[in-house]
Amino acid sequence: MNKIENGFQNGKALITFVTGGDPDLETTERLIYKMQEGGADVIEIGIPFSDPIAEGSVIQKANERALKGGCTTDKLLEKIEKMKENVHVPLVFLTYFNSIYTYGVEKFMSKCVKSGIAGLIVPDLPYEEQGEILPICEQNGLCLISLIAPTSKERIQKIVKRAKGFLYCVSSLGVTGVRKEISTDVKSLGKIVKDLSSLPCAVGFGISTPKQGREMAEIFDGIIVGSSIVDRIEKYGKESEQPVYEYVKSMKEAIRNISH
């Protein structure tokens, strides 16, 4: 397993996202290699879910395509396990809690470890509910990534105390998706979080252009891009690896050489 912390050793980190099995698992495999080659430092893989309530329309459609293509949690886990030797960046799953719960929490975690997954992002498992899986994550050496929202306020303190891996700061209200501009005062959110925690702190939701990426990387230790990659997958389907590679490369270029 490639530890999540390793993803933050190469200057500002670029965290990229892909929905597993969109439009099929072979494309996902090629995309993961290409994103790695383009400079992704951590790769987030979404386990497709029928009702992803934290996602905007772009990633919702990716979930639908993946499910339609027959992707299941088992098939995705198998695929990733087979790719293990070729992947040197840390991989994390983005999954809704029901996928873990119905699979069986312990069985799910041990399969994650076997596939080389380093951490989990569970958008519908806030601090109060994490206790249900936290001990099992820890036994398996998996990081449960904590999210911090612009509305978290006094909750930030307790969230960072327990957090592992990196902190996922949500740049704006609402669901995932490309935004023309990020209107929330994300700068001050970044400052508050960084004052309270020594963990790397990445920001996501709404980041798509290299310019936005650069602005965000001046404040945060890493940036997370999802919808703008998935947009390209929607457009180019099985031929999306080159456009995705070029996009990832341009984003990594944009945040290279930003000092801490």
Task: State the chain's maximal CA–CA distance in angstroms.
Answer: 45
CB contact at 8 A, 116 and 4? no
Output 195-200 pairs: Cβ under 8 A, ≥24 positions apart: 196/156, 196/157, 196/160, 197/160, 197/163, 197/167, 199/160, 199/163, 199/164, 199/165, 199/166, 199/167, 200/5, 200/8, 200/13, 200/166, 200/167
Interacting residue with another protein among 23, 38, 46, 150 (CB under 8 A): 150
Interacting residue with another protein among 99, 110, 209, 250 (CB under 8 A): 99
256 binds another protein (CB under 8 A): no
124 binds another protein (CB under 8 A): yes
Interacting residue with another protein among 173, 191, 237, 239 (CB under 8 A): 173
Interacting residue with another protein among 2, 54, 234, 256 (CB under 8 A): 54
What single DSSP character describes residue 142?
Answer: -
Interacting residue with another protein among 9, 98, 183, 188 (CB under 8 A): 98
Residue with Cβ nearer another protein (156 or 223) = 156
Rg (CA), the chain: 17
Binding mask 69-88 for another protein (x = CB under 8 A): ---xxx--------------
Stretch that binds another protein, among 4-12, 15-23, 149-157, 192-200 (CB under 8 A): 149-157
CB contact at 8 A, 105 and 136? yes
Structure token digits, residue 185? 């005062």
110 binds another protein (CB under 8 A): no
Q: How far is the CB of 2 from another protein (least distance, A)?
A: 26
Interacting residue with another protein among 116, 174, 210, 243 (CB under 8 A): 174
SS (H, E, C) 163-219: CCCCEEEECCCCCCCCCCCCCCCHHHHHHHHHHHCCCCEEEECCCCCHHHHHHHHCC
Residue with Cβ nearer another protein (152 or 240) = 152
Give the three-state DSSP class for 14: strand
Residue with Cβ nearer another protein (13 or 148) = 148
**Residues that bind another protein in the complex, under the rule CB under 8 A:** 49-51, 53-54, 56-57, 60, 64, 67, 72-74, 96-99, 101-103, 123-129, 147-153, 155, 159, 170, 173-175
